[in-house]
């Protein structure tokens, strides 16, 4: 059997998990792939640090360069995270023609285009199954299993921390900050949670999936991103009354090209809190679980569900890449399937302003006669239709919530109309506007 000699760059949560999983299932992986996997070195920052998964001291190194450049290392596995040293690690490995496995969504989101181009130039492969949705094998699904489909719609619940918070807010009637505080105490949320709760982590993953599905690189700044900080218990309760559940949803939609030879494929990519009908399968994806719903023009609807992060789930995704890399190394396959198949080279991202959606709107208004009429008049002037209204009974002269469900409307028109409404003297707090998805 051929041996694949691994340099693990990172021996933390995921690196430790991969080390452990190889001890547990290395023989199984060998019997299935026909290659053996030998971890020659594990690069860490601090040699003496106590590690939940023990790694023999003789394997540890703090010098990533010497490991990556070691001619006996045939596969580099980048599990250190971050976008500076990790970028150097991957660049150096690819320049040496060595295949690389990475779980680093932040790095791929920021520099993926450059790294995939480098892999092509040096006739080697960059594998990244663990970068999106942990244990759900969604990269392989998009790259290989659904290769014969145009992906018209892709929806993802891609951030476990946000999904955990929103689930507890809904099931236990809690406020956002209370759940976040507890999640931080229990170690489910980072001390600085902004990457997760402001939607950036989900946007990194959405960008990778969108680029893979549509064959042209989608940059993070092209992804309209908003997080869940502004979602209140009240929004979750009103959404529930209307038959919806609020989730942080990544959306990738192909917009039908217009007629004409120069028509371009346009894709809408966004991450935002979204009202999902309670009878849709994604509304039932709870706690830390992730799910990706993919609609292909041939396959129809498909759904992938599982743990989106964590040591074992992420290690499973890395093992899948190790297996692919071993088979490709043995067969001398470079870019077995080009990473971003250029079927839509001429594609573009639809600006958020042009996106059309139904909306949930929560206003905080003074309870007095004529308030609703003023608001409805401003919306009417902007050609925005109201499909339903909830106004809980309040006390005249006091501030009360006013919930409006809005028919399909362009984002830009909504933003303009709500800015005008916000200037009315009867409106007492910033307005909340959340898209609704009918799939
Ligand atoms: N954790 C998850 O559930 C999960 C899920 C999907 C993807 N990912 C991705 O997987 C990657 C790793 O995440 P993780 O949670 O395993 O991180 P982690 O627990 O912080 O581990 C990082 C490892 O890299 C080492 N390291 C960091 N900077 C280094 C440097 N400059 N030189 C040498 N070693 C360095 C650390 O050394 P020390 O051990 O000495 O500190 C540690 O062993 C990230 O890109 C992350 O986004 C993680």
Q: Are 250 and 332 in contact (CB under 8 A)?
A: no
Domain identity same for 102 and 24: yes
Angle at the Cα of 184 from the Cα atoms of 178 and 186, rounded to 5 degrees: 105
Q: Identify whether residues 150 and 92 lie together within a single domain.
A: no
Dihedral angle of Cα 224, 227, 230, 232, to the nearest 10 degrees:
130
Q: Judge whether residue 344 has pLDDT over 90.
A: no
Which of these, 92, 82, 154, 144, lies nearest to 118 by C-alpha position? 92
Task: Verify that 149 and 279 share a domain, yes or no.
Answer: yes
Pair 268, 402 in one domain = no
Q: Are residues 339 and 357 in the same domain?
A: no
Q: What is the mean pLDDT of the chain?
A: 94
Same domain, 127 and 7: yes
Can you tell me the distance from the alpha carbon of 268 to that of 253, in angstroms, rounded to the nearest whole number? 5
83 with 191, same domain: the answer is no
| Overall number of domains in the chain | 3
Cα–Cα distances (Å) from 265 to 206, 216, 257, 258, in that order, read: 18, 10, 5, 9
Q: Which residues contact residue 24 at a Cβ distance below 8 angstroms, ignoring those fewer than 6 apart?
A: none
Same domain (yes/no): 323, 301: no
- Cβ of residue 32 lying under 6 Å from some atom of ligand 1: no
Bridge partners of 429, per DSSP, are 364
The whole-number average pLDDT for the span 297-304 is: 98
Beta 100-102 vs 126-127: how paired, if at all?
Answer: parallel
Tell whether 272 and 160 lie within a shared domain.
Answer: yes
| Whole-angstrom distance, CA of residue 435 vs CA of residue 91 | 40
- Lowest mean pLDDT, pick from 77-91, 117-131, 254-268, 391-405: 254-268
Reply yes or no on whether the pLDDT at 143 is more than 70.
yes
* Pocket perturbation via mutation, ligand 1, pick of 60, 79, 127, 315 by most ligand atoms within 8 A of CB: 79
Helical axes 105-121 vs 85-95, angle rounded to 10°? 20
Tokens of 271: 């991450």
In CATH, what number is assigned to the domain containing residue 382?
Answer: 3.30.70.260
Residue 256 has a pLDDT of 79
Residue 340 has what pLDDT?
65
User: Of the residues 98, 105, 170, 205, which is catalytic?
Assistant: 205
pLDDT tens per residue, range 162-214: 999 999 999 999 999 999 999 999 888 899 999 999 999 999 999 999 999 99
For residues 163 and 290, the answer to whether their CB atoms sit within 8 Å is: yes
Task: Enter the DSSP assignment of 135.
Answer: T
Domain boundary among 320, 344, 368: 344
**Ligand 1, atom 44: closest residue by C-alpha:** 81
pLDDT in tens, 414-434: 999 999 999 999 999 999 999
156 lines ligand 1 (CB under 6 A): no
- The response to whether residue 17 sits with its C-beta less than 6 Å from ligand 1 reads no
pLDDT tens digits, one per residue of 212-269: 999 888 999 999 999 999 999 999 999 999 999 999 999 999 987 766 656 677 899 9
Q: In what order do the strands lie in the sheet containing 100-102?
A: 60-61, 35-43, 2-9, 75-78, 100-102, 126-127
What is the domain-level CATH number for residue 331?
A: 3.40.50.720
- Which of 287, 307, 327 is the C-terminal boundary of a domain? 307
Lowest mean pLDDT among 48-52, 311-315, 339-343, 352-356: 339-343
Residue 288 CB–ligand 1 contact under 6 Å: no
The parent domain of residue 261 ranges over 143-307
Of the candidates 167, 168, 165, 169, which has an alpha carbon nearest to the alpha carbon of residue 199?
165
For residue 383, indicate whether it is catalytic: no
- Judgement on whether residues 206 and 244 belong to the same structural domain of the protein: yes
Please check whether residue 257 is in contact with residue 293, taking contact to mean a CB–CB distance below 8 angstroms: no
For residue 346, what pLDDT is reported?
65
Output the pLDDT for position 258.
67
Indicate if ligand 1 lies below 6 Å from the C-beta of 343: no
Task: State which of 14, 61, 77, 190 you would mutate to test the pocket of ligand 1, scoring each by most atoms of that ligand within 8 A of its C-beta.
Answer: 14
Report, in this order, helix, strand and coil percent for the chain, each rounded to 5.
40, 25, 35
- CB atoms near residue 243 (< 10 Å): 11
Are 280 and 136 within 8 A, CB to CB? Answer: no
Shared-domain flag, residues 315 and 301? no
Q: What is the DSSP string of 338-352?
A: -SS-GGGTT-EEPPG
Evaluate: CB of 84 within 6 angstroms of ligand 1: no
* Shared-domain flag, residues 276 and 315: no
Strand-strand pairing, 35-43 and 2-9: parallel
Interval 366-393 mean pLDDT = 94
CATH of the domain at 294: 3.30.360.10
The per-residue pLDDT for 259 is 63
CA distances from 316 to 24, 282, 320, 337 (A): 12, 23, 6, 21
- pLDDT-derived band at 394 (thresholds 50, 70, 90) equals confident
Hey, what are 261's tokens? 């030879």
């Amino acid at each position: 059997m051929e041996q694949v000699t691994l340099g693990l760059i990172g021996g933390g949560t995921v690196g430790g998990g991969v080390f452990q999983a190889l001890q547990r299932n290395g023989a199984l992986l060998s019997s299935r792939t026909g290659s053996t996997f030998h971890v020659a070195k594990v690069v860490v920052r601090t040699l003496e640090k106590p590690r939940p998964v023990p790694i023999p001291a003789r394997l540890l190194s703090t010098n990533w360069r010497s490991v990556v450049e070691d001619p006996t290392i045939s596969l580099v596995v980048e599990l250190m995270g971050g976008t500076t040293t990790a970028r150097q690690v991957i660049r150096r490995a690819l320049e040496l023609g060595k295949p690389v496995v990475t779980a680093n969504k932040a790095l791929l989101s920021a520099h993926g285009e450059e790294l995939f181009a480098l892999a092509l130039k040096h006739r080697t492969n960059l594998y990244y199954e663990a970068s999106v949705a942990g244990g759900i094998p969604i990269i392989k699904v998009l790259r290989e299993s659904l290769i014969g489909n145009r992906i018209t719609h892709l929806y993802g619940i891609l951030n476990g921390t946000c999904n955990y918070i929103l689930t507890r807010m809904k099931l236990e009637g809690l406020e956002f900050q209370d759940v976040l505080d507890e999640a931080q105490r229990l170690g489910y949320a980072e001390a600085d949670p902004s990457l997760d709760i402001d939607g950036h982590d989900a946007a990194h993953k959405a960008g990778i999936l969108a680029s893979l599905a549509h064959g042209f690189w989608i940059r993070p700044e092209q992804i309209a991103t908003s997080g869940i900080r502004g979602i209140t218990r009240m929004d979750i309760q009103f959404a529930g009354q209307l038959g919806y559940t609020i989730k942080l949803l990544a959306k990738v939609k192909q917009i039908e090209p217009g007629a004409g030879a120069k028509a371009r494929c346009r894709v809408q990519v966004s991450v935002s809190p979204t009202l999902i009908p309670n009878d849709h399968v994604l509304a039932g994806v709870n706690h830390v679980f992730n799910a990706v719903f993919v609609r292909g023009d041939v396959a129809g609807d498909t759904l992938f569900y599982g743990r989106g992060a964590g040591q074992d789930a992420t290690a499973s995704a890395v093992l899948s890449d190790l297996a692919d890399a071993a088979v490709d190394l043995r067969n001398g396959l470079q870019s077995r399937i080009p990473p971003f198949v250029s079927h839509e080279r001429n594609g573009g991202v639809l600006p958020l302003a042009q996106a059309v959606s139904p909306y949930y709107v929560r206003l905080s208004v003074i309870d007095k006669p004529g308030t609703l009429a003023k608001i409805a008049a401003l919306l009417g002037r902007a050609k925005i239709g109201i499909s339903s209204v909830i106004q809980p009974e309040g006390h005249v002269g006091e501030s009360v919530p006013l919930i409006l469900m809005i028919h399909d409307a362009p984002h830009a028109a909504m933003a303009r109309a709500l800015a005008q409404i916000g200037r009315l003297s009867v409106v007492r707090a910033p307005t909340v506007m959340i898209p609704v998805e009918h799939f």
